[in-house]
Amino acid sequence: MMKCLLLGLLCLALTEGLVRVPLVKKKTIMKERGLLKEMLKYAQYSSQQGYFESLINQNDMAYFGKVGIGTPPQYFYLHFDTGSSTLWVNSVYCNSDACNSHPLFNPSQSSTFTSNQQPFSIKYGTGSVQGFLGNDTVTIGQLTVTNQQIGLSTSEPGDHFARPLHDGLMGLAFRPPTYQTIVDNMIQEGVIEEPIFAFYLSRDSESGSEVVFGGVDPSHYEGQINWVPVQQNSHWQLVFEGFEVNHQSTGWCDSGCTAITDTGTSLLLCPPQYVDSLHQMLGAQQDSNGNYVFDCNAVSSLPPLTFVMNGAHLHLPGTAYVLQDEDSNSNCQSGIRASHEEYRNGYPYWILGDVFLRQFYSVFDQGNARVGFANLA
């Protein structure tokens, strides 16, 4: 049974007895790069190469990648999160329960670590982390970024970060004003040629999830990439112009809706003022806890949701927005919940979490301040 907590922009899963799944390694990076070059020529995009990193899909609730910190690298599984900025990791100075049974970063065993002991603290909706900042080398697959600022946790109250695999967090927000994300540093240090990264998020807990830095992976999508501009200094926040249920406009976004594109949120978050009407239109029932559920056997006949973004119609079928829970015989939970704000910048406020992002190949283009969505191959 999956439970979902909202931690600000993060929606984390609490799961028990999870087995660590080995990473699927991309066999031939050079071959992929060759492919990418061909594709990019075709697509008239100038990127020359991309660096691939396999991600682990944790019960369709969170996606983790293996990251090395320090020299020699100490390895951790970090939650890859486009909805926050900071890269932080459990450290040997952390005494919280959440740090138990996790690998802990020991800066005294890294020859490249520097720190002026500046404190940091991040508050999420229902959890927080505190510690101090340092700089060190970060290794992601074939990529090496030197002098990346990282947070070393000293305190992680509660059990939000206690779950398996969560050794820390890799913030990938769009040009945050007060912090250089690892992508900002990759660009500054010239380790990627194009300021772009892209996600393929697998479904049904399957392996094969992947993020590419410096390019896109043509084997994961087909057709064109539909681009939507994002606002400066935002968490990949975009404005879109329409929302349909069963190909009928709801009118809710006719004057614009705003949405954050967030790999770190598990579900699709809808403006709270529309959650009930939306589920009524979809024919959902409420269970004894007040959660919206669907008949598991009727998921394939549910109406599609359509987001109209910069002219493109992006469809989300029932199989995407209903959580298929193997334990449950007849009722399946809705993958749509209320966001924590009705409006942002005057527009109804959505968060496009993994429920949405699994349906598309998603491209985060920092250079051109836009997000792209393409149909999966």
Ligand X SMILES: *[C@@H]1O[C@H](CO)[C@@H](O)[C@H](O)[C@H]1NC(C)=O
Name the site residues for ligand X (rule: CB under 6 A). Answer: 114, 135, 147-149, 180, 185
Q: Which is catalytic among the residues 60, 167, 262, 365?
A: 262
Q: Is 279 helix (H, G, I), strand (E, B) or coil?
A: helix
Asked if 97 is an active-site residue, the reply is no
3-state secondary structure of 44: coil
Rank residues 58 and 148 by Cβ distance to ligand X and give the closer one. 148
Minimum Å distance from CB 223 to ligand X?
Answer: 37
Q: How many CB atoms lie within 10 A of CB 142?
A: 14
262 catalytic? Reply is: yes
Cα-Cα-Cα-Cα torsion 269, 57, 183, 193, nearest 10 degrees, comes to: -120
Nearest 5 degrees, angle CA 225-CA 226-CA 231? 120
What is the smallest separation between the CB atom of 233 and ligand X, expressed in angstroms? 17
Residue 261 · residue 79 · CB < 8 Å:
no
Question: What is the nearest approach in angstroms of ligand X to the Cβ of residue 181?
Answer: 8
State the minimum distance, in angstroms, from the CB of residue 303 to ligand X: 46
What's the distance, CA 252 to chain centroid?
25
Cβ proximity to ligand X: between 180 and 231 the closer is 180
176 prior amide bond cis, ω within 30? no
Distances (CA, A) of 147 to 114, 240, 315: 9, 37, 41
Residue 150 CB, shortest distance to ligand X, in Å, is 8
Q: Which residue has the tokens 């990759």?
A: 186
* Biggest alpha carbon–alpha carbon distance for the chain: 60
Q: What are phi and psi of 144, to 5 degrees?
A: -125, 125
Task: Between 174 and 361, name the residue whose CB sits nearer to ligand X.
Answer: 174
Contact between 70 and 113 under an 8 Å Cβ cutoff? The reply is yes
| Options 81, 167, 217, 365, the catalytic residue | 81
> Nearest-5° angle of CA 67, CA 265, CA 236?
85
Rounded distance between C-alpha atoms, residue 336 and residue 61, angstroms: 13
Q: For ligand X, which is the closer residue by CB, 180 or 324?
A: 180
Q: Is 140 helix (H, G, I), strand (E, B) or coil?
A: strand
CB of 70 to ligand X, least distance (A): 14
From the list 253, 360, 237, 293, the residue with the least C-alpha distance to 1 is 293
Kindly state the smallest distance separating residue 275's Cβ from ligand X, in Å.
39
Closer to ligand X at the Cβ: 86 or 261? 86
3 state SS of 39: helix
CB closer to ligand X, 183 vs 316 = 183
Of residues 185 and 226, the one with the C-beta less far from ligand X: 185
Give the residue numbers marked as catalytic: 81, 262
